[in-house]
Amino acid sequence: MAREFQRGHKAKVSDLTAGTDLYVGVQIAGPGLTFDISCFGLDANEQLSDDRYFVFFNQPKSPEESIQLLGAQAGDTESFRVTLDRVPASIHKLSFTATIDGAGQMSQIGPGHIRIVAGGEEVVRYAFTGAEFTTERAVMLGDFYLKDVWRFAAVGQGFDGGLDALLKNFGGEVAEEEQPQQQAPAAGAPGFAPPPQAAAPAPSFGAPAPAPQAPAPAPSFGAPAPAPAPAAPQPPQYQQPAAPAPVHAAPTMAAPLAPPAPAPYGQPPQQPSYGQVPGQYPGQVPPPAPAPGGYGQQPSYGQVPGQMPGQVPGQQPGYAPQAAAPGAGLAAALQPYKEAPTGTRWTPQNQQLMRVDLSMGGQAVLARQGSMVLYQGKVDFSYKGAGFAGRIVGNATGQEMQLMRCTGRGQVFLAENGAHLHAIELQGDAICVSAENVLAFDESLQHEVRRIEGHGIPGGALFTMQFQGTGTVIVKTHGVPVVLPVTPTTFADSNAIVAWSAASQVILSSQVRLRRNAYPGHSGETVNLQFRGAPGNFIVVQPYEV
């Protein structure tokens, strides 16, 4: 339930939500008034020392895209995406402001608000009305500020001088006034913005969809759709610059599957949770089944982990092979193997091939060197070094990853030795994966080497990689894995374990055999790991020993 703030209320962001990828929505309107809603990135002296961090209609994002202007959506006059863990160290405050463009006073506005949404749920709201103001023409609504940790404050402080006074307060200079650009035709919300339909999955940073007044289909990424008719007159808004046309058009579908609705970056449609159906094709509508649980839920009995409901055993997901009619020709024979439909950032083409669309999400991908098998569009590949300290740690722990950095606007297809690939979505949580089992991941994810508790494990298997944050990591396995919930009696072979929830406690089993075939009749098993943790924790094991 959202916390209701009054003017002057403050709180740590960590007390409001565990996530750092946030949606900030501002709703403000008044009869005959037009508003400019902006975000100022300020330094330790609360000055705009770098004008690249003045995010407004004519500069819709900061250089590293930690602050992005999204436009009007979900009932908000303007909205932003704020990724706090990507804000540079020189920025200590993000101030969200609203100014009147033209004549008018803030006392004329109706009920409005500034709100923060995380994981599709509103966590805090500061509501205000015109009765709180008099002759002000600019107002600071709310701030994120860094004081040991990130905090949020409801400000509600106004300036009579409008935008000029606001800029001078932040140490900026008022440039020569430019004529406002002609408003472009209304376009759909960005592809990763919160969808307007309540039935769509909630994005990691998006606002929950409002009660549908005039339902409209979700817009396709890169293809503007007509904006729905507003329920009430809204003041004209500056139009966010249209995204460039995608380099790669949607491919021909191989089977009569409906293309998945575009989803916000970081959340593929109907993304399976660990313990539900690993490897399920995103966007596929399964037959009626109990609602999937969170991480660690055990698959239903009789259902093969990694197999889509109703899928014929051995059939690859991502396409639906159909027998070609006799004499149908070459095109019909190749139809079952056509590229899977686009619409999400990460899309499995089959169990062994993954495609990432770099034009969605606006961030780079780090992939294992040599894993690229095909790319389309303008894509740049560069070496991603770990640095001297990183190489030392990697060599000492066995968790070194030779990576390449993929940037640009295009699609990259990744695979390695026919391994099964699984897209694991993180929404501020963490997962432990051996570096050997990592194929690629979003650069936004934090990753570090983590030591497994316990005394010496043979073979140097003392360490693993921990990934945390908001983004996707592609895990590769030999064969279809199984996901099991962690219980006090859960043991796994250290050579077969692939991943586990970061909150699990890992210790050595007391029944360890230190050598294979140490004596006749030996079981042949090497080190076993015991997992413990609260309900909801899980492990992933592959049917193969490294």
For 428-464, the pLDDT digits (tens) are 888 999 888 899 999 989 888 877 655 444 334 467 8
Specify which residues 442 forms β-bridges with: 365
What mean pLDDT is reported for the chain? 74
126-143: average pLDDT: 93
State the DSSP H helix or E strand holding residue 475, giving kind and residue range, or none if neither: strand 463-477
CA dihedral 517, 519, 520, 526 (to 10 degrees): -30
Q: How far from 108 is each of 33, 102, 135, CA to CA, in Å?
A: 8, 13, 9
Confidence at residue 462, expressed as pLDDT on a 0 to 100 scale = 61
- Distance CA(495)–CA(248), nearest Å, equals 41
What's residue 330's pLDDT?
Answer: 82
DSSP H helical ranges for 316-455: 330-334, 387-397
In angstroms, what CA-CA distances link 386 with 180, 441, 474?
47, 15, 19
Spatial distance between the Cα atoms of 25 and 151, rounded to a whole number of angstroms: 17
Tens digit of each residue's pLDDT (9 = 90 or more) over 415-425: 999 999 999 98
State the Cα–Cα distance between residues 280 and 317, nearest whole angstrom: 7
List alpha helices for 50-98, DSSP H. none
pLDDT at position 90, please?
Answer: 95
β-pairing verdict for 121-128 and 3-5: parallel
Q: Which residue has the higher pLDDT, 506 or 367?
A: 367
Least confident of 235-239, 345-349, 418-422: 235-239
* Cα 253 to Cα 224, 335, 342, 415, 426, distances in angstroms: 21, 8, 9, 21, 28
Read off the DSSP letter of residue 184: P
Joined tokens for residue 25: 């929505």
Alpha carbon distance 351, 309 (integer Å)? 15
Specify the pTM.
0.40
User: What is d(CA 313, CA 428) in angstroms, rounded to the nearest whole number?
Assistant: 34
Pairwise CA distance, residues 66 & 24, whole Å: 13
Tokens for 468, please give them. Answer: 């945390």
From CA 157, how far away is CA 138, in angstroms rounded? 8
